[in-house]
Amino acid sequence: MSDKPTVLFVCVHNAGRSQMAAAYLKHLSGGEIEVLSAGSAPADQVNPAAVAAMAEEGIDMSAEQPKLLSDSAVRASDVVITMGCGDTCPIYPGKRYEDWELEDPAGQGIEGVRPIRDQIRQRVTLLIESLGQPATD
């Protein structure tokens, strides 16, 4: 069992916002936080514009695959961050839940994805601080 906090990012397709947030958290936490991501209705692949936008930040998401949200992922998490998935995420007592209102990058080119990516980075940095961890770069 790990003493590291576990964070789960959830959006509908697990192809854009939640994947970018998970990639940033893995990168910026230096491995001090366990990171999961999933979707209530996963897409076939991660949004190519999101992959390209993260590559600009030096973060490679090209091997990531959307995953289906499971009850066990929620149970394993200390913090659950939802992004536009409504009430599809199970609620358990003792978990910290946040809903991040962010524009959906689906169907947008890289120019439209960059501002969403930058908002996610800001929120992830604050999340890391709130968990008592130092953010690295």
Known catalytic residue: 85? Answer: yes
Average pLDDT over residues 121-127: 96
Known catalytic residue: 89? Answer: yes
Average pLDDT over residues 54-69: 96
Q: What is the pTM of this model?
A: 0.92
Residue in 85, 113, 120, 135 annotated catalytic: 85
Candidates 3.40.50.300, 3.40.50.2300, 3.30.2310.20, 3.30.1540.20; correct CATH number of 6-128?
A: 3.40.50.2300
Residue in 8, 10, 11, 36 annotated catalytic: 11
Average pLDDT over residues 54-77: 95
Write down the domain spans for the chain: 6-128
pLDDT at 136 over 80: no
Length of the chain: 137
Distance CA 32, CA 106 (A): 30
Q: In the chain, where do the E strands start and end?
A: 6-11, 34-39, 79-83, 96-99
Residue in 46, 89, 102, 127 annotated catalytic: 89
pLDDT at 87 over 60: no
